[in-house]
Amino acid sequence: MTKLDRLARSLRDAKDIVDELTRREVKLSIGGSVHDPTDPVGRLLFNVLAVVAEFEADLIRARTREGMAVAKAKGKLRGKQPKLSKTQEAHLVSTHRAETYTTVEIAELFGVARSTVYRAIKRAGDPT
């Protein structure tokens, strides 16, 4: 294994995995060095590495949340952009109401998936 944070998501998960490896009498190789979970020093080193890995993951999550909050405050975080503009969606709904095309044909006409057509019709308040 190259990095400990790839082994487990939390300290508790890492400890459970090490307990399982210890039960099977398996040694753990992290980044080229071998750690024997039955040896007190090996167990200490593993626990320290696991705590550091969990701390690093927590920092990344906190920075991501902070960055998203800043982007949202600046109006930059908008999520996935819609496939159709408001006018295109209105045209799609009116085409559906005219009942001249099937849902599959409307999807092909507008270059979207059927699910997009169904969602546009649902947002317009039309029964499917």
Q: pLDDT tens, position by position, for the chain (128 residues)?
A: 666 666 777 778 878 887 887 888 877 777 777 777 777 887 787 788 788 888 888 999 999 999 999 998 998 877 788 889 999 999 999 999 998 899 999 999 999 999 999 999 999 887 65
pLDDT at 27: 74
pLDDT at 78: 77
Residues 59, 93 share a domain: no
Helix 103-110 × helix 86-98 angle, to 10°: 150
Residues 67, 10 share a domain: yes
Asked if residue 107 lies in contact with residue 100, where contact means CB atoms within 8 angstroms, the answer is no
List the domain range (segments joined by +) for residue 60.
4-73
Could you give the 3-state DSSP secondary structure of residue 9? coil
Residues 40, 15 share a domain: yes
Residues 102, 65 share a domain: no
pLDDT at 120: 93
Helix 103-110 × helix 114-123 angle, to 10°: 100
Asked if residue 60 lies in contact with residue 87, where contact means CB atoms within 8 angstroms, the answer is no
User: Which candidate, 43, 58, 54, places its Cα nearest to that of 4?
Assistant: 54
List 55's β-bridge partners, or say none: none
Asked if residue 41 lies in contact with residue 34, where contact means CB atoms within 8 angstroms, the answer is no
Per the structure, the count of domains in the chain is 2
pLDDT at 103: 93
The reply to whether 79 falls in a domain is: no
Exposed, middle or buried: residue 91 (CB in 10 Å: 0-12, 13-18, 19+)? middle
Residues 91, 55 share a domain: no
The secondary structure of residue 92, as a DSSP letter, is H
